[in-house]
A and B are shown apart, each in its own frame.
Chain A
């Protein structure tokens, strides 16, 4: 027979990576060996710990969920596979028991390639060996070294790895937790701590609900130092509230919580019962590229050169977290945490440089301000700098000297940031620009002028500056500026309508038939701009609504939450938008890391054809809900009607 027996099956398999590299006759022979299987939704196709897989499963229709079974029927989602993707390869090549459970997420039709035929192809075709060998090594290594950081390597799109089990609070927490009731005398609590050789006791109500914690340092600073009676109840001396998290949380979430709340201990709870305690001491035991060590390294740095070196580790940590399945909000929070700490360290270093160079200490209190994505705490890796500086109000005769000092200071900080890999802002939105290094009153005037007299340039600047946040603050300039902005916006609806109109400029690239609209020519032909056409419209729309409500929040997901709370967006749409934002963010971080690993400059362009079926589907859905948000905003602000 000259024609293939099943041309459509062949056609399908031909497009599946990595089979697309096989010659036609090999593919036809492979199809000859294939079987078609159907699994209704919910059916377990491969059981974790069960017999090794007999087939490679290529998904023709539907999607599959890959998970790790946990105790009590819980599962840990590791990955999802969609149309044109496969599963079962690891167990097939290794001949080992299946590592994961694979369940039909929707009704699933799979093409099954028998194990011997698959192994034969992998043995004869280096392209397949590379593809599967690589994935295999990664999966296995991840499993083996659970708890340790995998070595760096290329990322496989946004596909997340097995190592989800890595770095959980449950692995490092102290399980022997000392607890006492609020009425316990401090003396008794201190005795208990001494006998049990622990540094803290968790104060719990009779129900077991934790309400506070008493530590060594509380004893020293609050009881002994003031000579208070040791017969008083712990209730009077404990630190509260306690900050809790679940044993399933990532270790880096624990770190984030500690640094956000400024505490050294977190109580680990399960259904409101204390199951463990985690202290900064527990985190100190970790080594290698853990988020914790990187933060610690930043803290220890004494020179600018060292800071640059430390920051190279950040990429590795992020890559690791992305593979561990970190959620978008956590990833962004972590990037922000790293970058904030780095900036603060840099400010300290430059201050002392200036002082040692004979230029003196900062002449007046100042605030280092983050703007744009940094202001929203949404930086992915190292994006362009967007920063500004506010210094205290001054009599006119001192203004010039002080401004000169701060400009010199800012220039060194900006250069330092550049050395750490944050490119200078092409639009010069940086504290080293005299326009963006001003006294408090000038800042307030600038903001009010933009609101009262909206014109194209000031509207564009407003989208960057109105997402401001203080990274390093020696005074309450930020709070005052927020107040002025809120006052200025009250009763000035026209400005919001202009902003809304501008926010409609970028549209999600979905065509009439819900196909992706890609660049027609040029460098990025057949690609779409994930940031400009996906994230920006959402960020812009939520900024308008959030300013309208007089909110001082800058983070997009927090704004979404508040705007939904206020009833401007229905809960269902808000939930979809949250998903869309997270999905696009993860996709973007993945793309950036991939580009970085290939030694290219990260950009925001994405080739939809290079995505998996499931990813394409999710991206389309994401664009769809962002269009809904834009429609809603357009209607609310009658944005089409305003004229410039």
Chain B
């Protein structure tokens, strides 16, 4: 989805909410699209790259247990500007999920609940463009909390690295990325770009890897003449 459409929806939302007295974070999020220039080079912008670990893969019933994010600004991943926190999912974690992310119920005894963690994350996110690998999954959980807290979904622009990969890489990798036909898994991409994979399956580790993938994809797109934010959004924007 393009910036114009996002702005239109944002305007409609603001009109609907009218002069209602909103909490400061919610009010700030309504302004997330301000100041974005669709003609700006995508590589010059600020992105927050997110990864969530959850109790499972069913968006309807599962919940977040860990949030990890790093910022990519002017093409560089800022290791110090990160967000990493465990989240109490208020429900049991199935053993299969523990095997994936290694987060046990013990580790969550002092963890905060989703709403509290999310507010801090929102403050950290600011007006940056949110990026995730297969973004609808992460966006679903974010909006779940966002809506329960403020009654409307996240207003930031969202980019999906899976879409970027399909648009930017697949056409030039006729046999699939690193030999995997039509697959854009994070591991596959890491292999294709020769990126380190040892820190995977912690939310922060995956967020870092996704950020480094984003770094490469932006360079790859730029090489193909897809330079401006407007162009990148039309390829890989999510709502």
Contacts and interface: CB of A to CB of B under 8 A. Distances in A.
Given A6-B199, A8-B196, A34 B80 contact: yes
A35 interface: yes
Contacts of A112: 76
B103 to A, nearest CB: 13
B216 A6 contact: no
A360 interface: no
A464 interface: no
Given A6-B199, A7-B199, A61-B194, A40 B76 contact: no
Q: Is the interface of A mostly helix, strand, loop or mixed?
A: mixed
Interface string B207-239: 010011001100100010000000000000000
Interface in A26-82: 31-38, 40, 60-61
A61 B223 CA distance: 20
A478 interface: no
A5 interface: yes
Contacts of B198: 8
B153 interface: no
Contact of A38 (B196, B204, B216): B216
B121 to A, nearest CB: 16
Contacts of B78: 35
A23 B162 CA distance: 40
B38 to A, nearest CB: 24
A36 B212 contact: yes
A107 B208 CA distance: 18
Contacts of B219: 38, 40
A38 B212 contact: yes
Given A5-B82, A5-B84, A6-B208, A36 B196 contact: no
Contact of B80 (A8, A33, A107): A33
Contacts of A109: 195, 212
Contacts of A61: 194-196
Interface string A2-28: 000111110000000000000000000
Contacts of A32: 79-80
B79 A35 contact: yes
A35 B84 contact: no
Contacts of B212: 36, 38, 109
Contacts of B89: none
Contacts of A8: 196, 198-199, 205
Contacts of A225: none
A33 B79 CA distance: 7
B84 A36 contact: no
Give the size category of B's interface with A.
20 to 34
Contacts of A572: none
Contact of B194 (A31, A36, A37, A107): A107
A179 B195 CA distance: 61
Nearest to A10: B79
A1 B208 CA distance: 17
A5 B75 contact: no
A36 B212 CA distance: 8
Nearest to B85: A1
Interface string A107-134: 1010010000000000000000000000
B216 to A, nearest CB: 6
A9, A36, A37, A112, most chain B CB atoms within 10 A = A36
A30 B149 CA distance: 37
B77 interface: yes
A36 B79 contact: yes
28 contacts: A5-B82, A6-B79, A6-B205, A6-B208, A8-B196, A8-B198, A8-B199, A9-B79, A32-B79, A32-B80, A33-B79, A34-B79, A35-B77, A35-B78, A35-B79, A36-B211, A36-B212, A36-B215, A37-B76, A37-B77, A37-B215, A38-B75, A38-B216, A38-B219, A40-B223, A61-B194, A61-B195, A61-B196
Given A35-B76, A38-B212, A61-B196, 16 more contacts: A5-B84, A6-B79, A6-B205, A8-B196, A8-B198, A8-B205, A31-B79, A33-B79, A34-B80, A35-B78, A36-B76, A37-B215, A38-B219, A40-B223, A60-B196, A109-B195
